């Protein structure tokens, strides 16, 4: 089955760290750019970060740059998001998402179900 | 950053009637590189992740019912559901995907009247 499954969310104190994982299956993971998108419960979608197929190129939203690091392990078919110096406003459901496989197909054609990160004292 | 603005914020439509959602971008999403509009539409039902409906502004994703259609070019886009079904109750988002940050509209909540 083609799917993405996130894990690693939970409750963390402000200033703390967390690492999210996204396990891919059913498709050739290394063929796709990958992304993290977050959503405060009941609110809209916010793009967080993206990574090239081979991990050589990354980009992040201003709100997380310098605190969050996206990476991937193509041998393990896994995407990661290392989050440091977490803030209350980082509380959200974090989704991983797959880009289309063809050049310029930067829309997100597959999403995981998300993992909830709660930053609170 | 490209700002995406959707209207209306919420919409109530009777079953079988047409639903129309608008999306406006602060910059043109039509690029010469491939003469396409870098605009996608997603559907999100409660408790579920977003689902891709439309890309390149008007191309329907495989498996999406043909009552869903996308139109528009440049800075103004529309998602139309030709005959609303009960299972279409959801929040709909537009997104520009030309370059990061890949910004989304604020969402339009679609309900049954």
CA nearest to B92 within chain A: A44
**What is the per-residue pLDDT across B34-79, written as a single tens digit (0 to 9) for each?**
789 999 999 999 999 999 999 999 999 999 999 999 999 999 999 9
Q: How far apart are CA B90 and CA B87, in angstroms?
A: 8
Which residues lie closer than 8 Å to A56 by C-beta, 6 or more apart? none
Chain B partners within 8 Å of A114 (Cβ): 49
The structure tokens listed for B21 are 């959602």
CA atoms within 13 A of residue B6's CA, in its CB half-sphere: 27
Token readout for B110 is: 């679609």
Answer whether A94's CB lies under 8 Å from A9's CB. Answer: yes
Measured between CA atoms, the residue of chain A closest to residue B102 is A47
A16: left (phi over 0), alpha (psi -120 to 50) or beta: beta
Note whether B102 contacts A50, CB cutoff 8 Å.
yes
Give pLDDT tens digits for A69-112: 999 999 999 999 999 999 999 999 999 999 999 888 899 999 99
């Amino acid at each position: 089955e083609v799917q993405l499954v996130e894990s690693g969310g939970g409750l963390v104190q402000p200033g703390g760290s967390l690492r999210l994982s996204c396990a891919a299956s059913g498709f050739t993971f290394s063929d796709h750019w990958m992304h993290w998108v977050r959503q405060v419960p009941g609110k809209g979608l916010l793009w967080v970060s993206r990574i090239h197929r081979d991990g050589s190129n990354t980009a992040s939203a201003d709100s997380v740059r310098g605190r969050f690091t996206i990476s991937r392990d193509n041998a393990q078919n896994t995407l990661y998001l290392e989050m440091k110096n977490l803030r209350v406003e980082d509380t959200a459901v974090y989704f991983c998402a797959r880009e289309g496989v063809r050049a310029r197909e930067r829309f997100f054609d597959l999403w995981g179900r998300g993992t909830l990160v709660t930053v609170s004292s | 950053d490209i700002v995406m603005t959707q209207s209306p914020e919420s919409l109530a439509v009777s079953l079988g009637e047409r639903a129309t959602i608008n999306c406006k971008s602060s910059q043109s999403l039509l690029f010469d590189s491939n003469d396409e509009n870098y605009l996608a539409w997603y559907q999100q039902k409660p408790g579920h992740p977003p689902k891709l409906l439309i890309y390149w502004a008007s191309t329907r994703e495989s498996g999406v019912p043909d009552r869903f259609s996308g139109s528009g070019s440049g800075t103004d886009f529309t998602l139309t559901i030709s005959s609303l079904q009960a299972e279409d109750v959801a929040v709909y988002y537009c997104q520009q995907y030309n370059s990061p940050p890949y910004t989304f509209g604020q969402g339009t909540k679609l309900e049954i009247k």
